Amino acid sequence: MTASHSDALVLFGATGDLAHKMIFPALYAMTEHGGLTAPVIGVALTKENPAGLRKLVTDSIKASGGIADKRALQHLLSHLTYVSGDYKDAGTFAAIKTALGTAKRPAFYLAIPPSLFGTVIEGLGQAKLAEHARVIVEKPFGRDLASAQELNRIARAAFPEDSIFRIDHYLGKEAIMNILYFRFANSYLEPIWNRNYVSNVQITLSEDFGVQDRGAFYETAGCLRDVIQNHLFQVVALLAMEAPATRDYGALNTEKAKVFQAMRPLKPNDLVRGQYAGYRKEPGVAKDSDVETFCALRLFIDSWRWQGVPWYLRSGKYLAATATEVIVELKPPPQRLFADSAPANGLGNYLRFRVSPNSAIALASRVKLAGKEFVGEQRELYLSDEQPGEQSPYERLLGDAMAGDGALFSREDAVEAAWAVVEPVLTKHHPVLPYKRLSWGPKEADSIIAPEGRWHNPTPHDAPG
């Protein structure tokens, strides 16, 4: 399939929460910036008339930040149509074909429950709608290795691999893309970006709120599936991968897949699972639930570059701050020439990639204090900071998918390799440990990183130090 631009977008789940919160605002932004001229066809089971659909979209855009460009809104609304029907009914797909009219290269976005992914993809194939088309599949792509393999089989039966876009909105974040750029645009990193100089890497994705109204969903997922296996593994891949031969998305995805394939499968003692106090009282949660709302793990990548370097990952609900941060800690100098040059508070020189709530890149180094004595302190040098005018992740990813650029999407082999890493501990693991709300999780998580180091706890309001 050539990389021609999609000439229509069909949105399954048009009346759902994801469409309301993320997709319609992204489509409005794309229209405002000239990136969307194709018609949009919303599909859902709900009966909705044209006026009701336009109000739904308008309310969504207002809630996301307001309407700055009324012409862009009117353009989007005038190109919007709706098909109501059951995803299991062949008549629904016939109606979609009619609504597409002369469009020959549609993109189908599946913003629907994962249990319906296979049903819709098979329906598209049976209706002969998959030819010259693309399909965009929301996460989670499977819930274990077997289900991911089955979903890949169904998708590949209808679409070629380069027409399947497995979306993870985390890869569309500007700060995440900057990790890739920063690594390979700067020559001074390469000599130290390996097992000889890096002591460890730790990644934290923390939230200071609970599961809210998603208790029933969380009971089917848990933190390991919901965050670590996808979001944090993708960040690991960008940090650990070798340089691709070209910027072609096939070359990039090949190197990312190699990282997942080199990851050592997890064992029960490699992770600590926690559950915040009161989780079992949340709506939709079992009274004896063993689902983790916190997970910390130790990971190894058995490659030439990273052999023996521990990667520490953790994420959780109701932690002390909402933040996402990467710390790449360097080994200390080989000779301790100055008495105070040991790692400050257990943390040596490091590179810090701040993803949220504000994005930044910082380098921590020791500098001498004024005076005759050779005494210093560790300070941070900011190398990058928040930039205005950033695209939202969904605007970027939708635009890339419709243009046929798969660089920020996951490939079949990478998805299955990532699931293979966590597969051994999805069902065989230690029980969850309770932790207080707004803490940093169960104290037992410290055992994952000790005695070599300690967790670096991000702060909610980051500033140059």
Catalytic residue annotation: 231
DSSP code for 347: B
The closest of 11, 8, 12 to 100, measured between CA atoms, is 8
Report whether 82 contacts 119 (CB < 8 A): no
State the DSSP code for 14. Answer: T
Please report, for the chain, how many H helices and E strands are present, in that order.
Answer: 15, 15
- Could you give the CA distance from residue 350 to residue 362 in angstroms, rounded to a whole number? 8
DSSP reduced 3-state for 374 = coil
- Residue 131 has which token pair? 């030819």
Give the C-alpha separation, 314 to 306, whole Å.
19
Instruction: Please tell me the distance from the alpha carbon of residue 63 to that of residue 59, in angstroms, as a whole number.
Output: 6
Q: What type of residue sits at position 266? A: L
Q: For residue 19, give the DSSP letter.
A: I
Question: In whole angstroms, what is the distance from residue 145 CA to residue 83 CA?
Answer: 34
**DSSP assigned state of 243:** P
Rounded CA gap, 431 and 420, in Å? 21
| CB contact set of 347 (below 8 Å; sequence gap of 6+) | 327, 329, 364, 378, 453, 454, 456
What is the rounded distance in angstroms from the CA atom of residue 332 to the CA atom of residue 367? 15
Confirm if 135 and 37 have CB atoms less than 8 A apart. Answer: no
Transcribe 35-62 into DSSP letters. ---S-EEEEESS---HHHHHHHHHHHHH
The DSSP string of 419-461 is: HHHHGGGSSS-PPPEEE-TTBSS-GGGHHHHTTT-------SS
- Residue 409 is encoded by which pair of tokens? 């999407």
